[in-house]
Structure 1
Amino acid sequence: MRKIAGLEWEVVPTPGCTNGASSYVVDFNGLRLAFVGELICGPGCTSRLAPLQYNYNDFTGAVNVWRSCYRLLETKPDMLLPSLGQPIDRPEQALQLLRDNLKLLDGISPGFIDQLNDPDDDDIEEVLPHLYRSKYSGAETNFVISDSGKVMAIDYGYNMSAYQSPGKQHLSNRRPFLHGIKGLKKRLGIDRIDTVLVSHFHDDHVNGIPMLQRVFGTEVWAGVHFSDILENPAYYDRPCLWHEPISVSRHLPNEHVTYWENIPIQLYPMSGHTRFSTLICFEVDGKRVVHTGDQIFFSTPSGLPFDKDAKSFTNHVYKNGLDLGCYKQTLKLLRDFQPNWVLTGHTRPYQTSPEWYQVIEKGANAFDEVHLRLMLLDEDGVHFGAESQGGKLNPYQLHLPAGGEAEFEGWILNPFPIPEKAVIKLVGPDDWESQVVEVELKPREQKEIRISISPPNGSCCRRQPIGLDLTVGGRPFGQVAEALVTVGVPKF
């Protein structure tokens, strides 16, 4: 609810002609009025069909109209006030007729009607008496309930039942919605989320967190080694970043017991899917529960998260950061903790078995073997490890609206098994002047750097690529990292 001009306004997400559309509902002079934009322009009809084709020959936007009508009906308006068309004084009939008419699209787009379904108001399901999962979250969201009735979510992903986004990858095409709140209210009488514990930084796991912070004042807890990527996403060049900075309330140390309410939690750093992640271990209802993030998955004939015929799927991503032996390290942590239940980022919860460890071990061994056989990673060789990254620059997005020197931090890696001297410089337009920095490196050492490049006075550019050129031991390795620089304009 938002208070504007002395009135309480309810903001209702109603994507349709645009995926960011909202409607506004207010009680005024004894009537409940809904200002609905282009969602509906008369009984049973919307203003245009063309904008509902988000991608190519599809009707993704029409699915959103169907779901938006459902959300608007829940507000029980007395009158609809569209931006195109006359006021509608029989809202329920008009909206239901629009939903009925949308089904006609199946006659020209077979299969369309199969996408039309209303969410269950009881949108959570019980795993354990104090542990629930959100039915419609993608990635998975789980809720831990304390004895005092507080709620800690582990991650908070997209609401897959509320909205279909356009296929084009752009931050404007990603929209968070609340989920799980109705189920928490219905089952437990709880109408808020007090804390979110983050498994890793990817957008499908964190996109709804800024909304929770605005609506409920939710605290965010995250492992100390990746909290900064949540708080300063523009600083990093990593896949699947959520663009909104997320303020982290508690930067949790690794391998220490932290209590949320009466529940002990331990975090352990992982790499493989991403090095900006943690294995989350906790105990609830007398059971040991582990959240593996997106690190451990399986291919199964049954489609279940794990079965007797499962094969390990490592789900590793080089640009997210990984190390040789990373899955063996995760396996060791799992064996030490001996969980009863497993939560993941993209499957339903499941229970462990002796075979589970065996399949993970087989996958961990295969991961190392693949890289050792296919790459030159011998101890005496010259290489940047399995990740194959020679350096990084931060910030990845640098904005200099008034011009001036472009200063960067970052790191470089010695690919040699012996001490060597590195020479680094930044590569940009021909008239930009870079520092040249020499760095002494120990064998295989990753070392922090600082370096700058100066554009000429009066420069004006947007998202100019800047490369980090690396030479080690007299051998040039070329440009091993990049950053983007905007100079002389008000927006990045």
Structure 2
Amino acid sequence: MNEILPDVYRHTSSAHVYVVCDADSAVLINIGDGSVLDCLPTQVRHVQAVLLTHHHRDVAAGAARAVRAGIPVYILQGEGQSLLDPALYLSMADRRNNYDARPYHWVVPDAAVTQPLREYRTYRFGRLRFTVWPTPGPTPAAATFLLNWRRHTLAFTGDLLYAPGQVSRLASTQWTYHGGEGLAGTILSLLDLAELQPTQVLPAHGEPMPCAALQLTAAALWPLLQLRRHNTRLLELRGEPYAELRPWLLMNRTSLACAYVLRAQNGRALLIDFGYDFSFGQASSTDRASRRPWLYTLPTLLRRYGIQGIDAVIPTHYHDDHVAGISLLQENYGAQLWAPENLVDVLARPGAYRLPCLWFDSITAQRTLALGEPFEWNEFRITPHELTGHARYACGLLVEAYGEVVLFGGDQYADADGLGLNYTYPNLFRETDYTRSAELYARLQPNLILSGHAQPVVPDAAYFEKLRVRGEQLQALHAQLQPHIARMLLRAEPINGVSGQLVVLTIENPTDTPFTGTLHVSGAATAPACLSVAAPAGGCQTVDFHPSGPSGARIHFELRGPAGEPCLFAHATIRHATCGDLNGDQYAS
């Protein structure tokens, strides 16, 4: 145990553990193999917390021992799952046909229940105040802890860098089979930290370094990223993250899904969509550890364009690449969520829906926007319109300002010409959706169309006619290529709830032909039943159920049409009253 700064000690086992003392208590940065608990400085009588920069075994193996000793262990939300279930993560290292290059075998040996940390927040332990700064690189959700210490700023960087010009292990920077995602993330993180000008950089491996080591290491990594041909525009995008489409309209060039900024004359801003800011590359899987929003370009936005604050963000739909960063905006910039009325519930209760691309956390709207009702924000007139097709819970935002009519269409249409029919069946797509959206676009007559994943489209008169023709073709082909029942939709919501809670089954018939059939109900959460179904053309039928039983019991629904036609299925699950989402438990059918 060496004192490297006044009241800051370093113990080395499988990694450096930093012991920051506050009178007779201390906070540990990383835990190594846990042996630090046997040789704490003599004045330390109580360890207030262990803060983990990331989940790898060499920095976190002793977490279980710390928890057993009554010491709370904190780690970023996305990193904690591997400590909670290391056996699962270790098994992922042995999967066959595996294309996820991350080192799952570097997981901790023993399970530990950790406490979650949030990016950009400051946590206080006695007189010690640590700020959590996102520094992806060694893992997607890695963090640096910043501590203002006796007129100095200390940066505990984990494995972000090893020495000036070196990182601890290049292997951990490859998050896909042949990508350089972590390299790009490391460079961005190093440059971001350098702007904060820490006095001392304290790594998990290697010796203390001055701030200059951050930029030096970023420069040293750049040739390898170029050689990989991964994200070759990284530094260009970092320098100019926003494109000025109009003096009052900006587009984020770095985000996974295009995010837009309306600039008012009074210096305030309103954002349209905000998912993954500066998306430099994502890991193969889509779990919490692999999907991490941050606010990387926001300081540049405010500084370069004279923006004094962000009033609100309006999402076009609920998908994670359009909403994942909204909570961070709310917490760190005071921005409100203004949600169109058809998005409010799915954002607030994502666990109630069986849909793809749901963000993990509840996001609560501060204002609900009525569909079809215009409202004023400074010099802008904004009208949300229902826009189903790519997603059921989606809207188009019509913005009128400075003599222009701009339609933000989210992901409804794709491709450079803006004619790609970007539908996805699990998003509750109906065969009539694109005829309806073509009618909407033709009625609104925007002079500029902005989407989530394509360049701006300036439509001519022929464009709207092409949308109509393509929408009608899509509807006709769905009617031609499958039997009637396959054109129906069946869903149960909420998908999980406590015993006795109402579950509504919706049988939706988007076709122009009435549907008659039978609904067969079964499962451990209900008595068997067979009900007649009659869903009118272009309408739906709903049936209420109150499934009951033990946690894990299910109610199953099977919709049958004429003999010989395929069936549709849905289900809902009973969960314990105190449980959250159903992830990884065992269920009885």
Aligned positions of 1:383-402 closer than 5 A: 383=485, 385=487, 388-389=488-489, 391-398=490-497, 400=498
Length-normalised TM-score, structure 2? 0.70
TM alignment of 1:342-491, pairs within 5 A: 342-376=449-483, 382-383=484-485, 385=487, 388-389=488-489, 391-398=490-497, 400=498, 404-405=499-500, 407-413=502-508, 422-428=518-524, 432-434=525-527, 436=529, 438=531, 441=534, 443-444=536-537, 445-455=539-549, 461=552, 466-471=555-560, 478=567, 480-487=569-576
Shift, 1:157, TM fit: 2.3
**1 CA distance for matches of 2:558 and 2:187?**
53
Offset of 1:408 from its aligned partner? Answer: 2.1
2:441 is aligned, of 334, 341, 348, to: 334
Letter in 1 for 2:494: P
Q: Which residue of 2 aligns with 1:293?
A: 410
Question: Structure 1: where are the runs of 5+ without partners?
Answer: 299-304, 377-381
- Are the structure 2 counterparts of residues 3 and 319 from structure 1 closer, same or farther at C-alpha, using a change threshold of 3 Å? closer
- 1:184 aligns to what? 301
Instruction: Tell me the TM-score normalised to structure 1 length.
Output: 0.83
- How many angstroms apart in 1 are the aligned matches of 2:398 and 2:564? 45
What is the CA deviation profile of residues 428-456 of structure 1, one whole-angstrom value per residue up to 9, with x for unaligned ones? 5xxx543637466453441222223333x
Say yes or no: does 1:230 pair with 2:347. Answer: yes
Quickly say closer, same or farther: Cα 1:153–1:170, change in 2 above 3 A: same
Work out which of the residue numbers 239, 242, 256 in structure 2 matches 1:124: 242
1:408 corresponds to which letter in structure 2? V
**Is contact 2:263–2:307 with CA below 8 Å preserved after alignment?**
no
Identity, % of aligned pairs? 26
Bigger drift between 54-63 and 191-200 goes to 54-63
Deviation at 1:54, TM superposition (A): 2.1
Any stretches of 5+ residues in structure 2 without a counterpart? 1-120, 583-589
Number of aligned positions between the proteins: 458
Structure 1 residues 61 and 361, CA, compared in 2 at 3 Å: closer, same or farther?
same
Equivalent position of 2:101 in the other structure: none
Matches within 5 A, 1:32-47: 32-47=153-168
Give me the whole-angstrom Cα distance separating, in 2, the residues matched to 1:167 and 1:356. Answer: 36
Q: Is the 8 A contact 1:136 1:179 kept in 2?
A: no
User: Partners of 2:533 and 2:219 in 1: how far apart?
Assistant: 71
Instruction: Give the CA RMSD over aligned residues.
Output: 3.1
Counting only pairs closer than 5 Å after superposition, residues 104-253 of structure 1 correspond to structure 2 as: 105=224, 110-111=228-229, 114=232, 117=235, 119-161=237-279, 163-253=280-370
Say if 1:288 and 1:340, in contact at 8 Å, map to a contact too.
yes
Q: Which residue of 2 aligns with 1:102?
A: 221
Distance of 1:285 and 1:50 partners within structure 2:
51
**Per the alignment, in what secondary structure is the counterpart of residue 202 of structure 2?**
strand
8 Å contact kept, 2:506–2:543: yes
CA distance in 1, matches of 2:422, 2:174: 32
Q: Distance in 2 between matches of 1:484 and 1:99?
A: 49
CA offsets, 1:268-319, max 9 Å, x none?
2122212211121120111111111111233xxxxxx33xxx8x31111122
Aligned residue for 2:395, secondary structure, equals: strand
Inter-CA distance 260–342: structure 2 relative to 1 (3 Å threshold): same
Contact residue 239 and residue 320 of structure 1 kept, 8 A = yes
**CA-CA distance at 1:23 after TM superposition:** 1.0
Residues 1:63 and 2:177 are matched in the alignment:
no
Amino acid at match of 1:127: L
What stretches of structure 1 move > 6 A for 4+ residues in a row?
Answer: 472-477
Q: Matches of 1:179 and 1:39 in 2, distance apart?
A: 17
Aligned residues of 2:554 and 2:571 also touching (Cα < 8 A) = yes
Alpha-carbon distance in 1 for matches of 2:224, 2:248: 43
Shift in alpha-carbon separation, 1:222–1:138, aligned structure 2, 3 A: same
The amino acid that maps onto 1:427 is: G
Partner of 1:22: 143
SS of equivalent residue, structure 2 residue 385: strand
CA distance in 1 between partners of 2:508 and 2:225 (Å):
57
The structure, 1 or 2, with the larger RCO (C-alpha pairs under 8 Å, 6+ apart) is 1
* Cα deviations by residue, 1:247-272 (Å, 9 ceiling, x for unpaired): 01222222222222332222221222
Asked whether the 8 Å contact 1:122–1:186 carries over to 2, the reply is no
Alpha-carbon contact 1:70-1:118 (below 8 Å) kept:
no
